[in-house]
Amino acid sequence: MPNAKRWVEPDPRRENWFWPTEELKARAWAADEKVYEESWADPIRFWEERAKEISWFKRWDKAYHDEPLAYKWFVGGKLNLSYNSLDRHVEAGKGDKVALIWEPEPPNEPNRVFTYKELLAEVSRLANALKELGVKKGDRVGIYLPMIPEAVIAMQAVVRIGAVHSVVFSAFSPESLRDRMVDCGAKVLITADGYYRRGKAITLKQNADKGVEGTKVERVIVVRRAGLDVPMDPSRDVWYHEIVPKQSPECPPEEMDAEDLAFILYTSGTTGKPKGVMHTTGGYAVQVYTTCKWNFNLHEDDIFWCTADVGWITGHSYINYGPLMNGVTTVVYEGAPDTPDYGRMWAVIQKHKVTAYYTAPTAIRMHVKWGEEWPAKYDLSSLRVLGTVGEPINEEAWLWYFKHIGGGRCPIIDTWWQTETGANCVQALPGIGPFIPTVAGRPFPGIRAKILDAGGQPVQPGEGGYLVLEPPFPPSLLRGLWGDPEKFKATYFSEYGPGYYFTRDGARMDEMGNIRITGRVDDVMNVAGHRLATAEVEDALSQHEAVSEVAVVSRPDEVKGEVPVAFVLLKAGYTASEELKKELVKTVDKHIGPTARPAEIYFVDDVPKTRSGKIMRRVLKSLVRGAPPGDITTLRNPECVEQLKSIVGSGG
């Protein structure tokens, strides 16, 4: 790698520990350990300092309002997320800088590139179109779009006029879309005709049509991406290219209160019904801006590429708002990592000289399988920082990423956070380190975290426990669950009371304060970086007429991290068959989407139950891991365990 700078060096005393070089420290936003102690001693002051770096129409009166279940940040402050992402750079004379590069999947199709000025104009036009369709401050707008520039433009346009977006992953089924649109009461949906995936044009509009049936959605804006012939309902649907270009490129940003709702994003909880995580404007802006800047060490010349989908929180915060608020260039890639070949991601890094690359462990494990000869063909010397997110990263994947993508020169920032936290919360800072495989790092400055035992006592260094966050809570922590204050309290603030936010993750901490995340402690799975509740898959399967009862548990998977495995009891009159398995998979596709497909379906006569009739998923979880079932003395039907063991052992 010609002239590539070295950003990290190995620790001579500890194997696989790495520290920033002087070169990296000099570029970093924080290079002195003192930032931790000082910020943890006074988080409010820390976040106030950071908040001064973004633009406010009116400064806040009070930085933090500490009230159980009603914490607030930057009270009385007025700002707009879109103004902070676009206008302020244009006003600072950076209008001609490239804001967004879109890489379509078909390799021969040209890139679409937007400067900050152009992006601002396009966002303003769409914002005006939304107004024309009757969208007002506080109204919900659904976004069901593939990875095209309009996905970012749509989010920006919605928050610009003070409306609230709710983005739904484009691979989710019509039914998933409908559930979300009904729950949030969206009035308008923005979607597309289709998109390219693995060389094929996939239709989306038909799914959108089914998804809005029976909802309050009155108007649908349709982006033409794939040139597909799709049905349009003239009383409801309007083409993006027919309504947007004719609008004025100017649209004054709405002055939002810091605590006004910015967006709702649905995520899996422990029940079958996804919950609408609510993020407000000010705290979200400040933490996303700051973590993106500090963790990825962003400067003027950075080209940031986050490979997540816009349908997830990672896409919201680190494709859209984070990089744009920082005034850098964000890369949006439409397609699959293996199209046209296994080198596509590395070709894109080389082509656009990407400096910061942010992806998921499941993706890295896929690349490990495909082989290091693929990245070896490309010049990756532009890279400075590598990030990972979404699940615990195993040592092999970490070291492979470090060596074959980062050339042994770049720090790996393993960022722990959640849809609920809105932005990164635990990681190693690039200018401080240490970078250690499988260890995320320390809480971000200004964020207080602890590891507690079940009784609420802090555990000793090295001991396992539960990760909690302490007040003052992170500025971008969720403010509620849409329409369900009880669930908000029950999910996050019941185990340890309102004084701790319970992350529902297991973790351990070393003497230095570095945190290793061990994974969820509830029935939430992480399937190829997609968050999914076992109960959601159970709900989907139980809608098939043949199913009388079903239990779903996760099983570790080499590439995907975890996969769902289903135990199905059939109703009388139905017999187990391969055909029926296929039908059940289709049922999951229909109700959730292909990401939730069970890797294995076992037809069984019984599942372990407690005396009160509750399914003991713990026992099934052990069985699919080939582990001893644990204590089964409290089961009503312990005899079924042996039978299940032989079924699982024989592969179904």
* Interface characters, 375-404, with ligand PRX (x: CB under 6 A): --------------xxxx------------
Task: Please say whether the beta carbons of 411 and 428 come within 8 A.
Answer: yes
Residue 470's Cβ-side half-sphere holds a number of Cα atoms within 13 Å equal to 15
CB of 440 to ligand PRX, least distance (A): 5
In the set 329, 526, 587, 622, which binds ligand PRX (CB under 6 A)? 526
Please report whether residue 320 would count as binding ligand PRX according to CB under 6 A.
Answer: no
Nearer to ligand PRX, 147 or 208 (CB): 147
CB of 313 to ligand PRX, least distance (A): 5
Considering only residues 228 to 247 of the shown chain, the ones binding ligand PRX according to CB under 6 A are none
Task: Please say whether the beta carbons of 546 and 469 come within 8 A.
Answer: no
Nearer to ligand PRX, 87 or 391 (CB): 391
CB of 388 to ligand PRX, least distance (A): 6
Query: Computed from CA positions of residues 153, 159, 163, 167, in that sequence, does the dihedral angle turn out positive or negative?
Result: positive
Please report whether residue 517 would count as binding ligand PRX according to CB under 6 A.
Answer: yes
Please report whether residue 169 would count as binding ligand PRX according to CB under 6 A.
Answer: no
Strands 442-443 and 412-415: unpaired
CB of 522 to ligand PRX, least distance (A): 9
Residue 108 burial (CB count, 10 A) = 6
Task: Please say whether the beta carbons of 334 and 105 come within 8 A.
Answer: yes
Nearer to ligand PRX, 180 or 219 (CB): 180
In the set 261, 313, 324, 566, which binds ligand PRX (CB under 6 A)? 313
Please report whether residue 414 would count as binding ligand PRX according to CB under 6 A.
Answer: yes
* Interface characters, 580-609, with ligand PRX (x: CB under 6 A): ------------------------------
Please report whether residue 211 would count as binding ligand PRX according to CB under 6 A.
Answer: no
In the set 415, 476, 534, 595, which binds ligand PRX (CB under 6 A)? 415
Of 495, 586, 597, 492, the closest CA to residue 546 belongs to 586
CB of 45 to ligand PRX, least distance (A): 27
Nearer to ligand PRX, 212 or 452 (CB): 452
Q: How far apart are CA 392 and CA 526, in angstroms?
A: 10
CB of 519 to ligand PRX, least distance (A): 6
AA identity, residue 586? K
Residues 6+ apart with CB under 8 A from 260: 138, 162, 280, 281
Nearer to ligand PRX, 217 or 440 (CB): 440
In the set 297, 418, 491, 554, which binds ligand PRX (CB under 6 A)? 418
Nearer to ligand PRX, 84 or 419 (CB): 419
Structure-token pair, residue 483: 């329409």
Cα angle, residue 317 at apex, residues 467 and 437 outer, rounded to 5°: 50
- Residue 402 has phi, psi (to 5 degrees) of -60, -45
Structure-token pair, residue 552: 């779903």
Q: How far apart are CA 366 and CA 33, in angstroms?
A: 35
CB of 266 to ligand PRX, least distance (A): 11
Nearer to ligand PRX, 55 or 438 (CB): 438
Task: Please say whether the beta carbons of 69 and 489 come within 8 A.
Answer: yes
Considering only residues 139 to 168 of the shown chain, the ones binding ligand PRX according to CB under 6 A are none
In the set 80, 84, 166, 314, which binds ligand PRX (CB under 6 A)? 314
With CB under 6 A as the rule, give the number of residues binding ligand PRX.
Answer: 21
Q: How far apart are CA 3 and CA 522, in angstroms?
A: 48
Three-state DSSP state, 72:
strand
Taking CA atoms, 135 is separated from 186, 188, 541, in Å, by 10, 8, 37
Residues 6+ apart with CB under 8 A from 111: 101, 102, 103, 104
Residues 6+ apart with CB under 8 A from 640: 604, 605, 606, 607, 608
Please report whether residue 419 would count as binding ligand PRX according to CB under 6 A.
Answer: yes
Nearer to ligand PRX, 517 or 540 (CB): 517
CB of 414 to ligand PRX, least distance (A): 5
Task: Please say whether the beta carbons of 89 and 100 come within 8 A.
Answer: no
Please report whether residue 562 would count as binding ligand PRX according to CB under 6 A.
Answer: no
Name the site residues for ligand PRX (rule: CB under 6 A): 267, 313-314, 389-392, 414-419, 440, 503, 505, 517, 519-520, 526, 531
